[in-house]
């Protein structure tokens, strides 16, 4: 009897195990399915990132002189129109439509969203529609272009700026986005960039430096004091950026899951630490902590945690944020010593902060166990390569592009236009009509 029972159990077990490949094959055939929670979260995140544009407008707008406030606000606002059209025409396709020679840039298969239907799910995030993925990525392209304006504020023509951001997004942003996120060569090497350290911050920060060098300094810089005219604007803008950044980072999980929660948590921690790091550095140098310093430190913390948000534990987010606050403070001081006019510290905060964040991602990534703390220095080397490639490409191409625009249609305004203010000379308006 016992032998009969054993034989029956053995036969049944063998039969069940023989079915496993069948079940596995059937499971593999199950098509991707829309997830309502994931879709809703990415829609909300897209709106949060869009809110960062008025936040950036106020952040930058408060730091310029009164005669240039509308111009500076427009530099953050107009990309919502220009880059949206560019993205529909071919920007999304160049970034995410598959690789051409050398995995350098996407093809044109998705021009004007060709082939995308309401029911089309995204290939990389198959629980959300391709439409909402494209809109989420659009907001990244928009704010990246707007960030560059911080390096060239108070001295550029509006016409030249509009042409510049359209062209820059096409020849710089779209290729780099493809390299890192769209199946390009850096993604193939294993470079980690959760939400845009290389694609957004290093690309825009180095572009701002290149443009500032071509267009030269503002009249009177650095001898003339160019004091921010409205620091309450800047603090309010920093708060809106902080709020919107939760969508920027946590939304990059592309799902309502535990990774999104980790990114959300790390965003808050690093930002608070960045603020304190900057204020400490400021206090050690000047004996006071300023409102501008608090706002700048918070933004530096946001920048640095962006590439690492979904990859590191909260304790490392604290360290990344605190270090970047002190580091970016020193970078901003350095511009005066070196003599370049990065008007609103786009390079000092975004390029420097993004570089530290990208390298720190390789140093401290423990989610997935690939970083230095997991005994893998190779990831650090890949991160450094990604930083160098994105920074070099963005700087060189931007430098050439700004030269071409300035020599053709004009980019730098005349001395007279700069003196009267860009609000009047470029828009025929005034930010403050005192009557």
Q: 123: which 2 tokens?
A: 């290939």
For the chain, residues with pLDDT lower than 50 are 1-2, 9-17, 19-20, 22-28
pLDDT at 32: 81
Delimit the domains of the chain by residue range.
36-427
Would you identify the CATH topology of the domain 36-427? Answer: Ammonium transporter fold (1.10.3430)
Instruction: Give the contacts of 16 (CB within 8 A, at least 6 positions apart).
Output: none
- Kindly report the number of other CB atoms within 10 A of residue 48's CB atom: 20
Q: Report how far residue 274's alpha carbon sits from residue 225's, in angstroms, rounded to the nearest whole number.
A: 27
pLDDT at 339: 87
pLDDT at 371: 60
The answer to whether 53 touches 270, Cβ cutoff 8 Å, is no
Q: 19: which 2 tokens?
A: 């079915």
pTM, two decimal places: 0.91
pLDDT at 21: 52
Q: Report how far residue 127's alpha carbon sits from residue 38's, in angstroms, rounded to the nearest whole number.
A: 7
Nearest CA-CA partner of 391 in 216, 212, 214, 204: 204
């Amino acid at each position: 009897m016992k032998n009969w029972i054993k034989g029956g159990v053995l036969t049944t077990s063998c039969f069940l195990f023989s079915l496993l490949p069948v079940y596995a094959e059937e499971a593999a055939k199950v098509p991707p399915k829309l997830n309502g929670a994931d879709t809703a979260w990415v829609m909300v995140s897209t709106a949060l990132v869009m809110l960062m544009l008025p936040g950036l407008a106020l952040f930058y707008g408060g730091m310029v002189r009164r005669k240039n406030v509308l111009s500076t606000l427009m530099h953050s606002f107009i990309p919502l129109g220009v880059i949206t059209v560019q993205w529909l025409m071919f920007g999304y396709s160049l970034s995410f439509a598959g690789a051409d020679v050398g995995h350098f840039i996407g093809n044109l298969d998705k021009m004007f969203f060709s082939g995308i239907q309401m029911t089309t799910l995204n290939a990389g995030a198959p629980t959300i529609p391709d439409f909402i993925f494209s809109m989420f990525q659009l907001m990244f392209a928009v704010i990246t272009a707007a960030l560059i304006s911080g390096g060239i504020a108070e001295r550029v023509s509006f016409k030249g700026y509009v042409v510049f951001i359209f062209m820059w997004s096409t020849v710089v942003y779209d290729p780099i986005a493809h390299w890192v996120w769209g199946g390009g060569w850096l993604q193939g090497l294993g470079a980690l960039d959760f939400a845009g350290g290389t694609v957004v911050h290093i690309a825009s920060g180095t572009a701002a430096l290149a443009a500032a060098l071509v267009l030269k300094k503002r009249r009177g810089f650095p001898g003339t004091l160019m004091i921010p005219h409205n620091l309450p604007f800047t603090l309010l803008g920093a708060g809106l950026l902080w709020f919107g950044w939760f969508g920027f980072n946590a939304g990059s999980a592309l799902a309502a899951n535990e990774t999104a929660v980790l990114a959300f948590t790390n965003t808050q921690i690093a930002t608070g630490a960045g603020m304190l790091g900057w204020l400490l550095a400021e206090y050690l140098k000047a004996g006071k902590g300023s409102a501008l310093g608090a706002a700048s430190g918070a933004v530096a913390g946001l920048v640095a945690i962006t590439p690492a948000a979904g990859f590191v534990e909260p304790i490392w987010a604290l360290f990344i944020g605190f270090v970047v606050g002190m580091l970016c403070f020193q970078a901003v001081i350095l511009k005066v010593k070196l003599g370049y006019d990065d008007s609103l510290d786009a390079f000092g905060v975004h390029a420097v902060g993004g570089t530290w964040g990208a390298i720190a991602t390789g140093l401290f990534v423990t989610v997935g166990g690939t970083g230095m703390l997991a005994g893998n220095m190779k990831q650090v080397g890949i991160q450094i390569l990604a930083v160098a490639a994105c920074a070099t490409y963005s700087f060189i191409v931007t430098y050439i592009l700004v030269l071409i625009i300035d020599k053709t249609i004009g980019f730098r305004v005349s001395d007279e236009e700069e003196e009267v203010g860009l609000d009047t000379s470029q828009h025929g308006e005034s930010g403050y009509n005192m009557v």
